[in-house]
């Protein structure tokens, strides 16, 4: 994966910086099969030998939404929760592209919903950035925590959704107990993120939730 993405040290504390980050993440996800196949997580079934190639195949298939290839990768020894060099799992890749069927397949086979990648983001946070309310709802059904905050900025899934203008995702998160009063490391609430990125309908929904 692109080393410029994994550190994140130059990302500005603005939504302009976040937009750049997510573009970079998209490029890194698309190129996931080109690198990162030798540095893997130690999360493995006891007694089963590591198979980094199969692990990468599982992540690639999850990103692309190809369950048949996911099944094949697991058959070749891929571990459901194996992480790449950036700490990302197959569940995160599937969630990022809103492949709800792949997310369900992984969850039903024990994928850990609370795993964080190197910047502290969970699968729910990745799903919340896109127009994927069904994916978000499914993750919440499997005990994803809407109150988790990433380690870099302290953003919650609600903040990610608000900043991207994903009003249906915001509704799902609020209906499942997401806290509109939660603040990030700059003291901003989710409504502030919507305001900064010019999403007035999302901001209004969140302000109403704070009444």
Range of the domain at 41: 29-112
- Position 48 scores a pLDDT of 55
With respect to residue 8, please indicate whether it lies within any of the assigned structural domains: no
61 and 122, same domain (yes or no): no
With respect to residue 210, please indicate whether it lies within any of the assigned structural domains: yes
71 and 101, same domain (yes or no): yes
- Position 160 scores a pLDDT of 98
99 and 165, same domain (yes or no): no
Q: pTM of this prediction?
A: 0.79
With respect to residue 13, please indicate whether it lies within any of the assigned structural domains: no
The whole-number mean pLDDT for each consecutive block of 10 residues of the chain, a chain of 211 residues, reads 37 40 44 36 48 97 98 97 98 99 98 96 98 98 90 95 99 97 98 99 99 95
82 and 160, same domain (yes or no): no
120 and 208, same domain (yes or no): yes
Q: What is the CATH number of the domain that holds 199?
A: 1.25.40.20
Domain closes at, from 112, 141, 168: 112
Domain closes at, from 112, 140, 169: 112
- Position 24 scores a pLDDT of 44
- Measured between alpha carbons, how far is 77 from 58 in angstroms, rounded to an integer? 10
- Position 154 scores a pLDDT of 96
Domain closes at, from 112, 141, 169: 112
- Measured between alpha carbons, how far is 104 from 106 in angstroms, rounded to an integer? 5
The residue among 124, 122, 146, 147 whose CA lies nearest residue 135 is 124
- Position 197 scores a pLDDT of 98
70 and 141, same domain (yes or no): no
- Position 13 scores a pLDDT of 38
- Position 49 scores a pLDDT of 60
174 and 150, same domain (yes or no): yes
With respect to residue 12, please indicate whether it lies within any of the assigned structural domains: no
Q: Write the CA distances from 92 to 34, 75, 201, 206, integer angstroms.
A: 18, 20, 28, 26
């Amino acid at each position: 994966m692109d080393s410029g993405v994994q550190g994140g040290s130059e990302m500005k504390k603005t939504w302009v910086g976040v937009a750049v980050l997510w573009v970079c993440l998209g490029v890194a996800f698309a190129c996931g099969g080109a690198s990162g196949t030798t540095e893997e997580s130690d999360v493995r079934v006891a007694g089963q030998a590591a198979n980094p190639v199969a692990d990468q195949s599982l992540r690639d298939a999850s990103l692309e939404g190809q369950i048949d290839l996911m099944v094949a990768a697991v058959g070749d020894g891929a571990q459901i929760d194996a992480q790449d060099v950036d700490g990302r799992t197959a569940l995160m890749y599937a969630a990022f592209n809103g492949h709800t069927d792949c997310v369900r397949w992984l969850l039903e086979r024990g994928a850990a919903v609370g795993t964080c990648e190197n910047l502290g983001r969970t699968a729910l946070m990745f799903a919340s950035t896109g127009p994927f309310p069904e994916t978000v709802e499914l993750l919440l059904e499997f005990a994803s925590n809407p109150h988790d905050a990433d380690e870099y900025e302290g953003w919650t899934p609600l903040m990610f959704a608000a900043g991207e203008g994903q009003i249906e995702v915001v509704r799902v998160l609020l209906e499942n107990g997401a806290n509109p009063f939660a603040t990030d490391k700059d003291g901003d609430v989710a409504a502030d993120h919507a305001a900064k990125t010019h999403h007035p309908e999302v901001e209004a929904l969140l302000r109403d939730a704070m009444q």
